[in-house]
Structure 1
Amino acid sequence: MKHERRPMARDCRSRRRRDPNRARPSVAGRAGSADPRWRAGVVRRSRRPRPCRCRRTGGRPSIATACPGGAAAGSSGGSAIGPHRHGPAEGRMMSEQAISPDVVIDDEGLYTLDGDPPQDALTDAESDAGVIESLARLSPVEYDRRREAEATKLGIRVTTLDREVARLRRRDVDAPSDGGTETLFPDVVPWPKLVDGEDLLTTMAATFRKHLVLPAGAADALALWVLHAHAHDASSISPILSITSPTPECGKTTALTVLAALVPKALPGSNITAAALFRAVEKWQPTLLIDEADTFLGQRDELRGVLNSGHSRAAAFVIRTTGDDHEPRRFRTWSPKAIAAIGDLHPTLASRSIHIELRRMGPGEHVEPAREGRLGHLDPLIRKAARWTSDHFDCLRGADPNIPATLAGRRADNWHPLLAIADTAGGDWPLRARRAAEALTGTDRGETAGVMLLADIRTVLRERGLDRISSADLAVALGEMLDRPWPEWRAGNPITQTQVARLLKPFKIGPRQIRVSCRTLKGYHIDQFTDAFSRYLPSGAETAKQPNDSADFEGIEGDTSGAGVSGRLGSKAAGNSRCFGVSPRDGTAVVDNEIEWFEGETESAP
């Protein structure tokens, strides 16, 4: 007799284990009071009856008596069930449990409660919630020892328990202990007496010189920036204080440590994300003191954009969506910020900064260490700063100081609030502040590669007395500037003609056909740069010295014999009729051997 295949009881059980549509109770239902029937024993998840899909029902879900083990006839909706067996495999029980009369089966085959849950169900749910809260208060080591056993007792997965414990711990950290405003920063009690601003700034500058080796004007700038942090809302511009150095151990962290003892709501950090930055500013309005910026800020465009946005109060916002409904919300980025890094900051940050470059302490120089926890002697200074800025807040808000002529554009904006503080303090500080501004902005740290290129092209044309230059010769001349980035512009290679053209394109400058000697080449004429020089290089907008318009170079000797020219300039008779060029100004004929470094080889006259 052919062996009869066993019924589908095992298949149904396997299907039950991996059915993706199987409804699972929420965590709140297992551990809270939102849906307590699971913990009350009304329905056990591990023994939950499932509609079978055996051959007797044609693969259709059913809870009726299509299977022999059914306890009562009825439709698949709203029928209470008892033991449920499959065919001859009577010993394999899919579910055998006394179901409460309150539990009914809906049209989807899912279990619901008819009426209010039993009171003991709520009691058990509250008890489970209390267990999870007690676990959240344990130390990480003790919780790790008990998590598996407690998850088994609760009838939940370990990962679910971990998630609930982590949520409760975050809630305890974020929630104020007394129901009031969370306190991360010590309260600064203003000085009880009137404060002289000149004496306060002088004392602060001396404090910075006591702990740091600083360049000229840097101590005065640091003292002024501290008062700016206290009177931050009185200004419409918030310059970043950038503290850089070429190498480690130059005092950047020490500078931030002293600043943290003097500024309001100091929030130091050695790494931060864009989201953490604008949320911290929105919540606390701190003074951000960011150290080690060179290790994480370089390629984070979003973070750099958030920092840039805080420069102007009118634009100091970022917009993000929050919540499950993705509601747009505006976050403030308006707060004082100081950034310390090895090397230069990105040009967009540098142009919004008051820059102080530190150097390592040299022989014969000595400073006192500034260790955290030993700066209590600075407490009177922060209290005096709070009192002075409070007394002069309205005056600072309406101040309009005179800006030195050497400061223009964003550099003038950066120094505007600091000069207002110096003028309000009086004494010799108006003069000291302007001297510091000129000293610290002597080198433009905010220039982009394009502006740098304009400055170097102007230098090349001026030093060589040219009014035009070919693209090839310009690239060679730039590559010979060892103190500039052009010799190793990309992957250690000198800048090329194409790269020069690409950098000049935003200024509406491009190579064109020009006459060089008796040849027509791609290059640039000085007239193309006149507007860009005047706009982006205001301190030196003079045009380059023009070459002699005549073809007669008397007094300048050069070897013009053969194929090469050994001297810098060679001369020919003006009457040479074999090859004539067009002079830059009056059309006077020029000869082919004018400029040796323009064209490597020239033809000699017959």
Structure 2
Amino acid sequence: MTDSTAPVTPPAEDGATLLDDIERHHRRFNVFPSEAAYVAVVLWGAHTHLMDAFEATPRLAFLSPEPGSGKTRALEIIETLAPRPMTTVDISPSALFRSVSAEASRPTILFDEIDTVFGAAASGNEELRGLINAGYRRTGGIFRSVRDGENHVVQKFPVYAALALAGLGDLPDTIMSRSIVIRMRRRAPNEKVDHFRQRTNEPEGHALRDRLAAWADTVREQIDGAWPEMPDGVTDRPADVWEPLLAVADAAGGHWPARARAACIELVNAAKANDKGSVGIRLLADLRTVFDGAERLTSVTVIERLTAMDDAPWADLDGRPLNTRALSRMLGEYVTAANQPIRPRNIKIGTAVAKGYYASDLADAWLRYCPPNPETPATNATSATAQVRALFPVAAEVAVAATDPHPGATGQAPTSAALASLTTTG
């Protein structure tokens, strides 16, 4: 005979079912751009309940080109699900620092209208950006000088905290590289959602939040220190970003591990496709297009071809076109395979000499900074040209670039027509 007064132990929460319920909650109020986006947002929300089990916390960035795309609503739904949410549209670095430095009451930061902080019209806000970046890793922190009796000592304060952001346009590169980016868009006329009413829908989210917190306690030991298997090709920073989400998916089981890895691949590839890179990397990539297998080009030809490129910034850099001096200065930041700055060299044109660039000097920078070139090599040109066309699949070939002789000659300055016509001969 059983004791009817004994407490009844509730059945253990099934992680996959719980995440399914949370996904349905999001789908009621938001139309995300892809299935991968729903998966990422659900897993990100779950990871906020397990922060101390991870080495890093990815930033979740809802970005769009236009307002009215559901970004704020996405943060509102996350607010009902995350532990100790702190929603803001404007916070000073010192206020944010004080909010996240107390580990026992560490909030989940939900930062709306982030474009007013880092957008084109903003002033940079380097201190706030540094704080956001430092809080990405659990070991990160901010150092401050504090009084200790009659003396001042340097003390490290923890700033590790989960952070979701929403805004127009893009974020600074250092934040983007630490973020899972959801490119939001306005709903089409046929895309319908429920109207979110705080009075009735917030308690529904809180019920899911409480279930999520209880489930997190049951899998915390399993997740702590786990090394989830990464999809092929996901390494370095993207792997750091996705590791917590894949660990949560593996703990939940069911279809979530497979869905999480599919979402990881899709969103990592999308981030690469949208990565504008620095101006320097854009220059290197466009130079690879301009050379198109040529062994050498004069500076005049390079400038003419760069400024003629559609959808490129070179015809208008801060109100003026790129010139040979600026080109030399920008390329001088990169080095050849012989570890020498890339500089214009003498190119002989008949009896005349012009300044220009050799593909062999650019080869190592193209290899290191530019995405792989899908072209198949089909040329009988020099080994340096072959490196350019095939993007140097054999590392030893890069060293060949260092052996290219530096021609030097003196003579009458070439005409503009001769400079513009020079490609692979001289």
* TM norm. shorter chain > 0.5: yes
The residue aligned with 1:459 is 289
Q: Which amino acid in structure 1 is aligned with residue 331 of structure 2? A: L
Matched, 1:321 2:145: yes
Matched, 1:245 2:64: yes
User: Residue 257 of structure 1 contacts residue 372 of structure 1 at CA under 8 Å; is this kept in 2?
Assistant: no
The residue aligned with 2:188 is 362
1:339 counterpart (158, 161, 165): 165
Q: Secondary structure at the match of 1:507?
A: coil
CA drift at 1:250: 1.0
Matched, 1:384 2:238: no
Structure 2 distance, partners of 1:500, 1:542, is 26
Q: Secondary structure at the match of 1:506?
A: coil
User: Residue 242 of structure 1 contacts residue 354 of structure 1 at CA under 8 Å; is this kept in 2?
Assistant: yes
Structure 2 distance, partners of 1:516, 1:338, is 57
CA drift at 1:506: 3.4
User: Residue 333 of structure 2 contacts residue 342 of structure 2 at CA under 8 Å; is this kept in 1?
Assistant: no
The residue aligned with 1:304 is 129
Q: Which amino acid in structure 2 is aligned with residue 483 of structure 1? A: D
- Deviation track 1:354-410 (CA, whole Å, cap 9, x = no partner) reads 111111122322222334343222222211211222111121112112222332321
2:300 counterpart (472, 475, 490): 472
Using a 3 Å threshold, how does the CA distance of structure 1 residues 247 and 394 change in structure 2: closer, same or farther?
A: same
The residue aligned with 2:342 is 510
Identity of aligned residues (%): 33
Matched, 1:533 2:366: yes
Q: Which amino acid in structure 2 is aligned with residue 308 of structure 1? A: N
Q: Secondary structure at the match of 2:129?
A: helix
Matched, 1:600 2:423: no
CA drift at 1:601: 5.0
User: Residue 206 of structure 1 contacts residue 219 of structure 1 at CA under 8 Å; is this kept in 2?
Assistant: no
Structure 1 distance, partners of 2:225, 2:208, is 25
CA drift at 1:522: 2.8
User: Residue 514 of structure 1 contacts residue 525 of structure 1 at CA under 8 Å; is this kept in 2?
Assistant: no
The residue aligned with 1:116 is none
User: Residue 110 of structure 2 contacts residue 163 of structure 2 at CA under 8 Å; is this kept in 1?
Assistant: yes
Structure 1 distance, partners of 2:308, 2:191, is 37
User: Residue 51 of structure 2 contacts residue 57 of structure 2 at CA under 8 Å; is this kept in 1?
Assistant: yes
TM-score computed with the length of structure 2 as normaliser? 0.77
CA drift at 1:546: 6.9
CA drift at 1:472: 3.2
Structure 1 distance, partners of 2:374, 2:362, is 11
Matched, 1:395 2:222: yes
User: Residue 515 of structure 1 contacts residue 521 of structure 1 at CA under 8 Å; is this kept in 2?
Assistant: yes
Q: Secondary structure at the match of 2:101?
A: helix
The residue aligned with 1:276 is 95
Contiguous gaps of at least 5 residues in structure 1: 1-190, 551-583, 588-595
Using a 3 Å threshold, how does the CA distance of structure 1 residues 412 and 274 change in structure 2: closer, same or farther?
A: same
Matched, 1:330 2:156: yes
Structure 2 distance, partners of 1:485, 1:407, is 30
Matched, 1:524 2:343: no
Structure 1 distance, partners of 2:282, 2:28, is 36
Matched, 1:221 2:46: no
CA drift at 1:543: 8.4
The residue aligned with 2:261 is 434
Using a 3 Å threshold, how does the CA distance of structure 1 residues 334 and 469 change in structure 2: closer, same or farther?
A: same
Q: Secondary structure at the match of 1:489?
A: coil
User: Residue 465 of structure 1 contacts residue 544 of structure 1 at CA under 8 Å; is this kept in 2?
Assistant: no
In angstroms, what is the RMSD of aligned CA positions?
3.0
User: Residue 332 of structure 2 contacts residue 343 of structure 2 at CA under 8 Å; is this kept in 1?
Assistant: no
* Number of residues of Structure 1 aligned to a counterpart in Structure 2: 365
Using a 3 Å threshold, how does the CA distance of structure 1 residues 522 and 437 change in structure 2: closer, same or farther?
A: farther
- Deviation track 1:176-203 (CA, whole Å, cap 9, x = no partner) reads xxxxxxxxxxxxxxx9542212122222
Structure 2 distance, partners of 1:423, 1:597, is 64
The residue aligned with 1:205 is 23
- Deviation track 1:446-491 (CA, whole Å, cap 9, x = no partner) reads 5333233333333333xx3323333333333333343344443323
Structure 2 distance, partners of 1:209, 1:476, is 51
User: Residue 465 of structure 1 contacts residue 546 of structure 1 at CA under 8 Å; is this kept in 2?
Assistant: no
> Per chain length, whose mean CA-contact separation is higher, i.e. which structure has more relative contact order (CA < 8 Å, sep 6+)?
2
User: Residue 475 of structure 1 contacts residue 495 of structure 1 at CA under 8 Å; is this kept in 2?
Assistant: yes
Q: Which amino acid in structure 1 is aligned with residue 79 of structure 2? A: A
2:321 counterpart (472, 476, 494): 494
Using a 3 Å threshold, how does the CA distance of structure 1 residues 333 and 366 change in structure 2: closer, same or farther?
A: same
CA drift at 1:278: 1.2
Q: Which amino acid in structure 1 is aligned with residue 293 of structure 2? A: G
Structure 1 distance, partners of 2:348, 2:24, is 60
Using a 3 Å threshold, how does the CA distance of structure 1 residues 333 and 480 change in structure 2: closer, same or farther?
A: farther
Q: Which amino acid in structure 2 is aligned with residue 291 of structure 1? A: D
Q: Which amino acid in structure 2 is aligned with residue 515 of structure 1? A: I
Q: Which amino acid in structure 2 is aligned with residue 473 of structure 1? A: T
Q: Which amino acid in structure 2 is aligned with residue 434 of structure 1? A: R
Structure 2 distance, partners of 1:372, 1:495, is 53
CA drift at 1:598: 9.0
Structure 1 distance, partners of 2:309, 2:72, is 34
Contiguous gaps of at least 5 residues in structure 2: 1-8, 336-340, 383-403, 408-415
Structure 2 distance, partners of 1:432, 1:597, is 59
Using a 3 Å threshold, how does the CA distance of structure 1 residues 385 and 541 change in structure 2: closer, same or farther?
A: same
Q: Which amino acid in structure 2 is aligned with residue 279 of structure 1? A: R
TM-score computed with the length of structure 1 as normaliser? 0.55
Structure 1 distance, partners of 2:10, 2:296, is 68
The residue aligned with 1:293 is 114
Q: Select between 294-303 and 541-550 the one with higher mean Cα deviation.
A: 541-550
Q: Secondary structure at the match of 1:304?
A: helix
CA drift at 1:433: 1.3
The residue aligned with 2:3 is none
Q: Which amino acid in structure 2 is aligned with residue 496 of structure 1? A: N
CA drift at 1:247: 1.3
Answer 1 or 2: which has greater helix percent: 2
Using a 3 Å threshold, how does the CA distance of structure 1 residues 199 and 460 change in structure 2: closer, same or farther?
A: farther
- Deviation track 1:94-116 (CA, whole Å, cap 9, x = no partner) reads xxxxxxxxxxxxxxxxxxxxxxx
